[in-house]
């Protein structure tokens, strides 16, 4: 029996054993803490059952969604998600364009362009995004007031209530959604057809001919798309009509505006702030990636007589793209997450709408989980898309 | 074998120690609970605390013009602040013995519950959930507020019904936002709510006429209107529509189960209302107290009528407490006149008119 005590003694002197004990105790505490949190959470109402009840509040920006306060909280939340996605898609596209242009300009031999890009990056990257959002809100509010709104023969209205542009709106004959579906399907179909024809020509050297004229895949796709869209438009009794902006005075003489596609100062402010801010980081990514390429690439391109523009678009950027994509994905994710700052200037994206729901219902915890889950899904979708794109870019280069 | 027994003994000793430790713990806990119970029972009422301390700690707003505002001179002024003074004068005989504690809307209830302040008078709406859930009691209504709509005077809007197609600025996540939607939806009106998180960007948008209307409590609107910058048109360029969208009764709060102090605060509020009804003002209160015209007035002021006995209501403070309060701040009408009339909150015809004039300002009898 002496051996047990001896063994215990040896164990107690062993560093490994003591570490194990410490870790075990730590694990128990963590476990207890998690258990405490879960048991607390279970006492609360963690279901989202209250989301089926009437929302009861209005939402100022309803894009592609026909929301009214009589709808459920789920639908209000969905409206917020649509507003977030709308902001992110437009923001990501514009930030990428701005960042690429500025990144190239930063390396320009032209002092004006390189200084402009330098100042842009250093000023906007080093000021808080929140301040920039409020700044742009104030800037957009300086547009003419509605009583002094600028109109161009009833097709465009510009005021600080929003810039209104002509748009399409569905006529109430019930075929609107059907027609949109047909448009989307025909777009996909015609893309496939044009890809097929082009591939057939490029790879197999076979050409379709109509009366001795070569049939190009692009033209075939465009023609097929428009034929299907136009025919279905008339068959479905013109489900969409042009919606012109309207600036009018009510019977009290007060100006109001409605109709058309609305570009509001709130959307504009948050979009500008996000694009300008994220653009600075993309500028640096583009600049760094271009600089990482060997100088010989540029020199070789110039040696075979390519212009500066051709050198950039055909030689430099395609190669730089391989090291641009991974950090660019991070910036897209940042833009998406930063869009939740819209809450300060009255743009109803998903965080603002869900906070309103939270305040009205009093159930904070499950709503917060829903918000987290939604942002997580958005981020993962962006990551997946960018990873697919990244794989494509690296494969072509290899 | 010997060692094995040793370990066994050690283990049993340890477990005994553990159990006994648990036992003593439970006892200590029970004792502590008893002590807490005793403390609760013997806790002095806030009235005693105030009398012993010699000052009244009053939680107020510090940036709502008319109700509670910290002036450039460093003093607190306003309708709510005058009630702090009235209570201090009633209990301590001196209206200057108030320690003002400026509070935010979110911190106010906890400050009262934790004993940081004695009395909360910070434009707080009396609702069932606040009365029930939170550790406080509403004493009486000093001001009948309600949600209103402020528009530019040149817009020509007279009623909510005129506002078809309008854009309305509102704070998000408030009941205000829900009341607004109820009103417009039930009237079948199309509108756009622009919901802001805080007041500053909201005001910036309203000044640039981004919205046609601004909705919040009428007292708040009156206050914002009074300080509307001249560069944006000044107060005259704005009107508050007559319609009221919701009920928002405001008044002082005390802690739960503090009936002595609660009664004093409540009856100071009633006393100032009764004083107005009886025609007693800060100017004539001394003369009235020296020579009351009827027994009712004598009871209110705590003085003998025609050489008889004083009717002391045993509030735990001096029988003349209402007299002190009137001397300090005047009757209800005077307080209103001093702080709310300048904001453009017309009293006649509103809910805050005296009951004899068709309003709701009414005091139970002093008897």
pLDDT exceeding 90 applies to what percent of chain A? 48
In a domain, A5, yes or no: no
Q: Which residues of B touch A56 (CB under 8 A)?
A: 178, 181-182
* Residue B319, burial from CB neighbour count under 10 angstroms (0-12, 13-18, 19+): middle
In a domain, A324, yes or no: yes
Q: Which residues of A touch B1 (CB under 8 A)?
A: 1
User: A273: domain CATH number?
Assistant: 1.10.3720.10
Q: Tell me, letter by letter, the H, E, C secondary structure of chain B.
A: CHHHHHHHHHHHHHHHHHHHHHHHHHHHHHHHHHHHHHHHHHCCCHHHHHHHHCCEEEEECCEECCCEEECCCCCEECHHHHHHHHHHHHHHCCCCCEEEEECCCCCHHHHHHCCCCCEECCCCECCHHHHHHCCEEECCCCEEECEEEEEEHHHCCCCHHHHCCEEEEEECCCHHHHHHHHHHHHCCCCEEEEEECCHHHHHHHHHCCCCCEEEEEHHHHHHHHHCCCHHHCCHHHEEECCCCCCCEEECCEEECCCHHHHHHHHHHHHHHHHHHHHCCCCCCHHHHHHCCCCHHHHHHHCCCCCCCCCCCCCCCCCCCHHHHHHHHHCCHHHHHHHHCHHHCCCCCCCCCCEHHHCCCECCCCCC
For residue A243, give the H/E element and its range.
strand A240-243
Q: With an 8 Å Cβ cutoff, is A70 touching chain B?
A: yes
pLDDT band at A397 (very low <50, low <70, confident <90, very high): very low
Identify which of B3, B162, B204 has the shortest CB distance to residue A252: B162
Rounded Cα distance, A312 and A17, in Å: 62
Residue of A56, A57, A141, A145 to mutate, testing the B interface (most B Cβ within 10 Å of its Cβ): A57
In a domain, A354, yes or no: yes
Question: What pLDDT was estimated at residue B271?
Answer: 96
In a domain, A201, yes or no: no
Q: CB distance B205–A346 less than 8 Å? A: yes
Question: What pLDDT was estimated at residue A132?
Answer: 95
Token reading at A171: 């006529």
Question: What pLDDT was estimated at residue B107?
Answer: 80
Q: With an 8 Å Cβ cutoff, is A168 touching chain B?
A: no
Q: With an 8 Å Cβ cutoff, is A346 touching chain B?
A: yes
In a domain, A81, yes or no: yes
pLDDT band at A197 (very low <50, low <70, confident <90, very high): confident
Cα A67 from chain centroid (whole Å): 21
Q: CB distance A4–B4 less than 8 Å? A: yes
Mean pLDDT (whole number) for A264-281: 95
Partnered with residue A256 across adjacent β-strands are: A248
Q: How many CB atoms lie within 10 A of CB A78?
A: 16
Question: What pLDDT was estimated at residue A221?
Answer: 86
pLDDT exceeding 70 applies to what percent of chain B? 88
pLDDT band at B27 (very low <50, low <70, confident <90, very high): very low
Question: What pLDDT was estimated at residue B35?
Answer: 52
Q: CB distance B157–A254 less than 8 Å? A: yes
Mean pLDDT (whole number) for A289-311: 92
Report pTM.
0.73
Question: Is pLDDT at A286 greater than 80 in this prediction?
Answer: yes
Least confident of A125-134, A241-250, B20-29: B20-29
In a domain, A28, yes or no: no
Question: Is pLDDT at A226 greater than 50 in this prediction?
Answer: yes
Question: What pLDDT was estimated at residue B284?
Answer: 95
Rounded Cα distance, A341 and A270, in Å: 8
Question: Is pLDDT at B9 greater than 80 in this prediction?
Answer: no
pLDDT digits (tens, 9 = 90+) for A133-165: 999 999 999 999 988 888 887 789 999 999 998
Q: What mean pLDDT is reported for chain A?
A: 89
Cα A8 from chain centroid (whole Å): 61
Question: Is pLDDT at B22 greater than 50 in this prediction?
Answer: no
pLDDT band at B25 (very low <50, low <70, confident <90, very high): very low
pLDDT digits (tens, 9 = 90+) for B147-162: 999 999 999 899 999 9
Q: What mean pLDDT is reported for chain B?
A: 87
CA distance A160 to chain B (A): 6
Cα A145 from chain centroid (whole Å): 30
Question: Is pLDDT at B15 greater than 70 in this prediction?
Answer: no
Mean pLDDT (whole number) for A182-204: 87
pLDDT digits (tens, 9 = 90+) for A319-365: 998 899 999 999 999 999 999 999 888 899 999 999 888 877 767 77
Q: With an 8 Å Cβ cutoff, is A58 touching chain B?
A: yes
Q: Which residues of B touch A355 (CB under 8 A)?
A: 172-173
Identify which of B4, B194, B212 has the shortest CB distance to residue A1: B4
Which residues of B, range 183-242, sit inside 8 Å of A by Cβ? Answer: 184-185, 191-198, 201-202, 204-205, 208-210, 212
Sign of CA dihedral B186, B192, B195, B201: negative
In a domain, A367, yes or no: yes
Q: CB distance B155–A360 less than 8 Å? A: no
In a domain, A142, yes or no: yes
Q: With an 8 Å Cβ cutoff, is A395 touching chain B?
A: no
Sign of CA dihedral B17, B19, B23, B25: positive
Question: Is pLDDT at A92 greater than 90 in this prediction?
Answer: yes
Q: Which domain holds residue A135?
A: 73-150+266-397
Question: What pLDDT was estimated at residue B134?
Answer: 75
CA distance B176 to chain A (A): 10
pLDDT digits (tens, 9 = 90+) for B77-115: 999 999 999 999 999 999 999 999 999 877 888 889 888
CA distance A345 to chain B (A): 6
**Of residues A358 and A57, which shows the higher confidence score?**
A57
Mean pLDDT (whole number) for B24-49: 60
Question: Is pLDDT at B37 greater than 60 in this prediction?
Answer: no
Mean pLDDT (whole number) for A40-46: 71
Exposure string (b/e) for B247-286, b if CB count within 10 Å is 16 or more? ebbbbbbbbeebeebbbbbbbbbbbbbbbbbbebebeebe
Question: What pLDDT was estimated at residue B21?
Answer: 45
CA distance A55 to chain B (A): 9
Question: Is pLDDT at A396 greater than 80 in this prediction?
Answer: no
pLDDT exceeding 70 applies to what percent of chain A? 98
Range among A337-346, B34-43, B91-100, B124-133 rated most confident: B91-100
Mean pLDDT (whole number) for B328-338: 96
Q: How many domains does chain A have?
A: 1
pLDDT digits (tens, 9 = 90+) for B192-248: 999 998 888 899 999 999 999 999 989 889 989 988 999 989 999 999 998 899 998
Sign of CA dihedral A287, A289, A290, A291: positive
Q: Please, what are the domains in chain B?
A: 49-144+250-357 (3.40.190.10), 147-246 (3.40.190.10)
């Amino acid at each position: 029996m002496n051996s047990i005590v001896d063994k215990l003694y040896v164990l107690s002197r062993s560093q490994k054993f003591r570490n194990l004990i410490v870790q075990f105790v730590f694990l128990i505490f963590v476990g207890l803490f998690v258990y405490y949190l879960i048991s607390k959470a279970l006492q609360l109402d963690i279901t989202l059952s209250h989301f089926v009840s009437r929302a009861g509040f209005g939402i100022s920006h309803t894009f592609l969604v026909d929301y009214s306060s009589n709808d459920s909280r789920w639908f209000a939340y969905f409206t917020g998600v649509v507003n977030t996605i709308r902001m992110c898609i437009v923001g990501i596209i514009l930030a990428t364009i701005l960042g690429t242009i500025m990144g190239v300009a930063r390396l320009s031999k032209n002092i004006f362009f390189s200084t402009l890009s330098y100042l842009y990056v250093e000023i906007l990257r080093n000021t808080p995004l929140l301040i920039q959002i409020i700044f742009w809100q104030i800037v957009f509010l300086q547009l003419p007031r509605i009583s002094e709104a600028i109109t161009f023969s009833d097709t465009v209205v510009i005021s600080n209530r929003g810039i209104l542009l002509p748009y399409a709106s569905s006529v109430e004959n019930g075929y609107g959604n059907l027609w949109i579906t047909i448009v989307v399907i025909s777009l996909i179909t015609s893309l496939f057809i044009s890809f097929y024809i082009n591939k057939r020509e490029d790879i197999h050297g076979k050409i379709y001919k109509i009366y001795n004229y070569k049939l190009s895949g692009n033209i075939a796709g465009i023609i097929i798309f428009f034929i299907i869209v136009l025919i279905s438009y008339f068959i479905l009794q013109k489900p969409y009509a042009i919606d012109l902006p309207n600036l009018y005075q009510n019977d009290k003489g007060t100006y109001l505006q409605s109709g058309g596609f609305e570009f509001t100062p709130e959307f504009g402010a948050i979009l500008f702030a996000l694009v300008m801010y994220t653009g600075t980081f993309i500028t640096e990514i583009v600049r760094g990636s271009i600089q990482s390429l060997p100088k010989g690439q540029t020199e070789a391109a110039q040696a075979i007589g390519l212009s500066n523009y051709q050198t950039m678009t055909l030689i430099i950027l395609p190669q730089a793209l391989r090291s641009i994509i991974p950090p660019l994905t991070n910036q897209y994710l940042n833009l998406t997450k930063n869009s939740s700052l819209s809450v300060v200037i009255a743009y109803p994206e998903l965080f603002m709408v869900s906070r309103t729901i939270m305040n009205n219902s009093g159930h904070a915890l499950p709503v917060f989980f829903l918000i987290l889950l939604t942002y997580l899904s958005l981020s993962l979708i962006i990551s997946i898309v960018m990873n697919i794109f990244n794989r494509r870019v690296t494969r072509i280069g290899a | 074998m010997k060692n094995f027994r040793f370990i066994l003994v050690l283990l049993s000793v340890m477990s005994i120690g553990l159990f006994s430790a648990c036992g003593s713990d439970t006892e200590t806990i029970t004792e502590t609970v008893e002590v807490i119970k005793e403390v609760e029972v013997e806790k002095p009422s806030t009235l005693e605390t105030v009398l012993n301390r010699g000052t009244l700690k009053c939680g107020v707003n510090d940036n709502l013009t008319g109700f509670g505002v910290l002036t450039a001179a460093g003093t607190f002024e306003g309708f709510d602040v005058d009630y702090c003074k009235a209570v201090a004068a009633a209990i301590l005989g001196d209206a200057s013995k108030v320690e003002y504690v400026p509070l935010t809307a979110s911190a106010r209830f906890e400050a009262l519950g934790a004993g940081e302040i004695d009395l909360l008078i910070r434009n707080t709406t009396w609702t069932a959930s606040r009365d029930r859930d939170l550790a406080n009691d509403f004493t009486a209504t000093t001001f009948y507020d309600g949600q209103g709509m402020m528009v530019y005077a040149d817009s020509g809007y007279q009623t909510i019904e005129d506002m078809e197609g309008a854009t309305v600025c509102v704070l998000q996540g408030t009941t205000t936002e829900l009341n607004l939607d109820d009103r417009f939806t039930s009237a079948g009106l199309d509108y756009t709510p622009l919901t802001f998180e805080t007041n500053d960007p909201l005001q910036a948008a309203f000044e640039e006429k981004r919205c046609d209307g601004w909705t919040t409590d009428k007292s708040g609107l009156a206050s914002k209107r009074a300080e509307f910058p001249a560069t944006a048109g000044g107060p005259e360029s704005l009107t508050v529509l007559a319609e009221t969208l919701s009920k928002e009764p405001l008044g002082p709060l005390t802690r739960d189960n503090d009936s002595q102090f609660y009664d004093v605060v409540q009856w100071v509020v009633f006393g100032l209302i009764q004083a107005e009804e009886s025609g007693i003002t800060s100017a004539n209160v001394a003369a009235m107290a020296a020579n009351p015209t009827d027994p009712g007035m004598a009871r209110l002021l705590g003085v003998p009528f025609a050489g008889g006995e004083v009717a002391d209501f045993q509030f735990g403070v001096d029988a003349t407490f209402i007299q002190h309060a009137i001397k300090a701040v005047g009757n209800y009408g005077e307080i209103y006149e001093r702080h709310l009339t300048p904001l453009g909150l017309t009293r006649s015809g509103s809910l805050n008119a005296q009951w004899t004039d068709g309003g709701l300002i009414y005091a139970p009898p002093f008897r």
